[in-house]
Amino acid sequence: MKKSKIELDFDLKTASLGAVWTAVATPAGMSEWFADNVTAETDNLYSFTWDGHTQKANVIALKPYIYIRLQWEEDKDTDAFFEIRLSINELTNDMMLHITDFVLETEKEDAILVWKKQIETMMRKNGL
């Protein structure tokens, strides 16, 4: 089944770029909020574990301190991916976190709720 694109934006105010990047793009940081455990099997292959179930994702694009784009192994050979991107609002100087994900249409509402909850957890654990 074809997946639909969802995009979410979060205002992180005056957060530290280094701290946020560590939280969103490293296995140790992602283990704090994204999954129960995240490990790097190689530089480009991460394993994500939730309740004993493991999924693997390939890092398909990375620009340090700007974005990380991953693709679940099950989505290989498709256009589906998930991306976490950071930017600075030029007017307010606030940091923005942008999420792009591809999900099944029937799971769209649940996926949005999960992303919001996960980002809320990441912000709380990092004092944002």
Residue span of the structural domain in which 52 resides: 3-125
Percent of the chain with pLDDT over 90: 80
Please, which residues bridge with residue 67 across strands?
63, 85
Q: Is the pLDDT of residue 14 over 80?
A: no
Domain CATH for 15: 3.30.530.20
pLDDT at 125 over 90: no
The span from the CA of 92 to the CA of 97, in Å, is 14
Digit-coded pLDDT (tens) for 98-120: 999 999 999 999 999 999 999 99
In this model, does residue 48 exceed pLDDT 80?
Answer: yes
Average pLDDT over residues 85-110: 92
Look at residue 37 and give its three-state secondary structure: strand
Residue 101: predicted pLDDT = 97
**Per the structure, how many domains does the chain have?**
1
Give φ, ψ of 29 to 5 degrees: -65, -45
The pTM of the full predicted model, rounded to 2 decimals, is: 0.90
Confidence of residue 15 (pLDDT cuts 50, 70, 90): confident
The residues that bridge with 58 in the sheet, in sequence order, are 45, 71
